[in-house]
Structure 1
Amino acid sequence: MSGFIQQDVDVMRKKDVLAGSCKTETISANRVRNPIPDAVHALAKGFKSGRWASHIEPVPIPSKHAVIDLIEQAQRILFPGFFACDILRPENLEYHLGQQISLFYENLARQISSAIRHDCFRHNQACSLCNERSYELAAAMIDSLPEIRSKLESDIEATLTGDPAAANSDEVIFSYPGLFATIVYRLAHRLHEFEVPLIPRIMSEHAYHRTAIDINPEATIGSHFFIDHGSGVVIGATTSIGDRVRIYQGVTLGALSLPKDAGERLRNVKRHPTIEDDVIIYANATILGGETVVGARSIIGGNVWLTESVGPDTRVMLEQPKLVYIGPKPGGRG
């Protein structure tokens, strides 16, 4: 019995020690400076002044998470059976598509409405019939889905033709970052053509963060487009790419260095290159300038830096560099 009594005493002593510690911590915390009110005041002052970008408006703004959901919904429509757990058969395919397209239509219209209303407010425009316009634009996007899917099929074919490592179309659809970036681009580009604000860029930035492939939704890209590997690819807003073009990782289709005041003055000027049909551009090549044209069937080698036009059927390669060995040469004695 004495053992049990001693255990109870020990437990009570531990509680007293803990209680004393908690009391001591509470007293210490009350003596610490509270930084929150000053930070709140300073931040609120900056936001209210208009000097800092913020969304303090009586209108909604598109949800980044909802836009990402739209991309995933579009994948389930454009590639039925790949991105959902449902088992699809010919008998229930139309039901599946009807259900998914209805959901996509309503959610897209809601996000377009937010984007239009936000844009009107930001430019001090009177917003008229925003909801009606959003449903019209969403309907036009639904009408475009068969055409978009047809182009994506050509992109899959180009991948299978251009990459011997691609075993089949299932592998390409599931796992190729280049195809995912192209899917998002084709959706975002069509919304850009419909002059939907903000949403196309949210979509393209999501694709960039997932794949490290940066395709501006304003760029124009033809059919049978293939990005191999893909990391580090940059395709600028006014780039024009023809049919059956293949590009590799690290390729930049960009603009020449611009003056500081170029943001507004050159906003609608072509600043990025034109790539004609059947061109291949190898890894880490950089092609710059709105007047730069790469002619049809040309090949641009790896690491090439190009700021002038190239005629059709031209190969542009760097001269073979000379290797310098310090120490034993590979396969040799010295």
Structure 2
Amino acid sequence: MATGANGQVGHELLRALTDISRDPDPHPYPSPGGRGVQCISPLPPGEGGAKRRVRGRPCEIIPAARNGTLENGTACERIDLADLDGLPRALDRIAPDLIVNAAAYTAVDRAEDETALALRINGDAVDVLGAWAKQHDARVVHYSTDYVFDGSATQPYREHDATHPVSAYGRSKLAGEIALRDSGARHLIFRTAWVYAARGHNFLRTMLRLGAERDELRVVDDQTGAPTPARLIAEVTALAIAQWTDDAAPLRDGVYHLVAAGQTSWCGFARAIFEHAQRAGLIERAPAVQAIRTSDYPTKAVRPAYSVLDTTKLRDAFGVALPDWQVGLDGVIAELANTRFMNREK
């Protein structure tokens, strides 16, 4: 079961998990521009590469959303993480073997005023998922965030580095991590950061919208991270699940960092968005992007100044190497350009 099916990651998960379930041994590394796991490269033998191990039977992918309806109007299971009383009953009825929880409270600034709601969805509900999974011998895959760190580091964060969230959102996500870990359920937790996609509400789409309206944009240049496409997150998740579900012992259970390689600032990301979009013919002109400091753009919630995550553990455990963030950007821009072309042809 995949919760949050209408979200950026959830939407991509349905496709990625379906691909894995239909083909028990697909080739996950097509050439650039191909279909399948587009943004993952296999590690060479001797450098952490491992043969994929996949369950030899197809499985049913059960999408779940808060309102019980997918964006295309198709009915799906209704899972509202804010409904802590109804959540166990829904799980009893669906009886999943694996829960991939892509649902979350993600309004970072609003969480400062809705602390209890953020904690209920990101923390307490994950506790319920873990407890149910432990009781019914199910497994849980869950997503967390760079916001569990305070951003004071000067080198990429590793999974075992001390957490110190500086926002209500970050504290709620850390609570979910702790709850799932302490539940005793078999689990994977993927921390990710700077997530974007060709759909939904995200930085890339906001920049393209504002760039069409203005000649100049002012963007923060003193926060550093790795822009990560939702599709990459989903496809790495599917690949990891295909291996992990064959593990009898919990040797690979735990927390992993899942982000694109490299790093940039929000300002650098914005400039790259317009450069790549113009090159792809998605936009005719690019606005000027002026660098500003975080102090010039105050927000209610404190953001980590440094959000780069070390992905070595993920590479070693599951035999994947993640692409540079600009490779993922090319893919999302190409998707947007293709969608616009198809819409014009209709």
TM above 0.5, yes or no, is no
Question: Rg larger in 1 or in 2?
Answer: 1
Q: TM class, shorter-chain normalised?
A: under 0.3
TM-score (norm 2): 0.24
Greater helix share, 1 or 2?
1
Greater strand share, 1 or 2?
2
TM-score (norm 1): 0.24
Larger RCO (alpha carbons 8 Å, 6+ apart): 2
